[in-house]
Structure 1
Amino acid sequence: MHIPTCDTAQQAIVPFSQALDEALQPQPDYDVSRWLYVPNRYCDYRYILGTRGNRPLICVGINPSTAAPNALDNTLKSVERIALGNGYDSFIMFNVYAQRATRPDDMEKECNPALHEENMAAFRWALEQTRTGSPAVWAAWGAIIEKRGYLSHCLNDMIRIGRELDATWYSAGARSKKGHPHHPLYLRKDSGLDPFDAALYVDQVLSKL
């Protein structure tokens, strides 16, 4: 379990570009030809975790927990199975907010603009890794997005970036009564992907919370 030691505003945030450069260098603990892990060390935030390929499925949760290369948690194992089962050659786990907190209730109360800005740089980079077709983004945050008011604003920035890069959004499994996309953990391993209008979701679901 990861419990934040302090708000990220009290920490030095490594810019995504620098963290990426470091993550692309050979690592003693995992194979960089297979894994993407940025930053490449365990700390109170994580930009991306995934595998390398030409056609990744970019899964979007709310915030990271303890998963790392060669040590995927059950959620990430499900993400990888569904990505491969739907014809993608890899997956990238991204999150609306980059602060690690196994329990969403432990997330910081206020958005750290510096961390958010670097997280959006990571999202843009993740979308640019698709070599064939449009980037595929899987909305998979469940009702946890209700935990903090700033999360919908973060998501709006992601929708804007996705629009710039012609991303296509999907969900998997049944949506909640309120309309939230299903979390990956309890999905069937053969779950397919359904079209998801992220902008409409923000307008019709999040704006009414």
Structure 2
Amino acid sequence: MPHIPQGTTDTIQLELFEPALEAALRPSPGYDVSRWLYVPNAYSDYRYILGTRGEKPLICVGINPSTAAPDALDPTLQSAQRIALANGYDSFLMFNVYAQRATRPDDMEPVLNPLLHGENRKAFRYLLSLSEHPAVWAAWGNIIEKRDYLMDCMRDFAADGQAAGAQWYTAGPLLKSGHPHHPLYLKGDTKLLAFDIEAYLERAVSMT
């Protein structure tokens, strides 16, 4: 079933990232925590992180979560995992520009929730901290144009990546729009190419 938000995230009690991470690192009856990283560790109206554990992870940045969960990846995350493995990574970590769950991006809330973005930013910094040289795959497609606040969020994540010495990639060449490809329709062996996130953000004003 699709996930349709029943309201805006400022009307619910958000679980902050750090306590949610602590809970996600403890054993869970629902899935194997030695294999999965799932924050928060139960299905909710938002998700900070979903991915597999490994020594060489690829951080995949999409727009917003849908219904995926441990052992129940949706087609987008299945594609992301295949491409990560095909490019020499042993794991993938799905992160999103905005943490609100909505199967249809058109259902995302119209106005940014600063608290949710702040906690999501903590999640991204945590993912960056897992590698000495973080690898980040830009994978949001044209969907980033759905809400004005998404590009502003992306600028924050680019700054965090720069501070951590992250290398950004795109899967295959950019779309005609100038945005990186969404994973869903990419071949499983698509090669990652270096992506200049700063140049992209400079061009973004003319794209949006």
TM (normalized to structure 2)?
A: 0.97
SS in 1 for 2:184: helix
Query: Paired residue for 2:155?
Result: 156
Query: Paired residue for 1:16?
Result: 17
Runs of 5+ consecutive residues of structure 2 not aligned to the other structure: none
Query: Paired residue for 1:60?
Result: 61
Measured in 2, the distance between the counterparts of 1:114 and 1:71 equals 28
Matched, 1:32 2:33: yes
Measured in 1, the distance between the counterparts of 2:203 and 2:25 equals 40
User: Pairwise mapping of residues 1-209 of structure 1 onto structure 2 (< 5 A)?
Assistant: 1-131=2-132, 134-209=133-208
Moved more, 60-69 or 172-181: 172-181
Tell me the amino acid that sits aligned with residue 160 of structure 1: A
Runs of 5+ consecutive residues of structure 1 not aligned to the other structure: none
Tell me the amino acid that sits aligned with residue 68 of structure 2: A
Q: Is the 8 A contact 1:178 1:205 kept in 2?
A: no
Q: Is the 8 A contact 1:46 1:98 kept in 2?
A: yes
Quote the offset at 1:208 in angstroms: 3.9
Q: Is the 8 A contact 1:140 1:172 kept in 2?
A: yes
Tell me the amino acid that sits aligned with residue 156 of structure 1: R
SS in 2 for 1:94: strand
Quote the offset at 1:89 in angstroms: 1.0
Measured in 2, the distance between the counterparts of 1:202 and 1:145 equals 12
Measured in 1, the distance between the counterparts of 2:12 and 2:206 equals 31
Q: Is the 8 A contact 1:75 1:184 kept in 2?
A: yes
Measured in 1, the distance between the counterparts of 2:112 and 2:195 equals 26
Tell me the amino acid that sits aligned with residue 203 of structure 1: E
Tell me the amino acid that sits aligned with residue 202 of structure 2: D
Quote the offset at 1:207 in angstroms: 4.5
Measured in 2, the distance between the counterparts of 1:208 and 1:182 equals 15
SS in 2 for 1:158: helix
TM (normalized to structure 1)?
A: 0.97
Tell me the amino acid that sits aligned with residue 34 of structure 2: S
SS in 2 for 1:60: strand
Q: Is the 8 A contact 1:3 1:106 kept in 2?
A: yes
SS in 2 for 1:170: strand
Q: Is the 8 A contact 1:152 1:206 kept in 2?
A: no
Measured in 2, the distance between the counterparts of 1:108 and 1:148 equals 9
Identity of aligned residues (%): 62
After superposition, the C-alpha distances for 1:1-48 in whole angstroms (9 at most, x for unaligned) are 000011001111111000000111111110000000000010000000
Q: Give RMSD over aligned pairs.
A: 0.9
Measured in 1, the distance between the counterparts of 2:38 and 2:207 equals 35
Measured in 2, the distance between the counterparts of 1:174 and 1:195 equals 10
Measured in 2, the distance between the counterparts of 1:206 and 1:175 equals 17
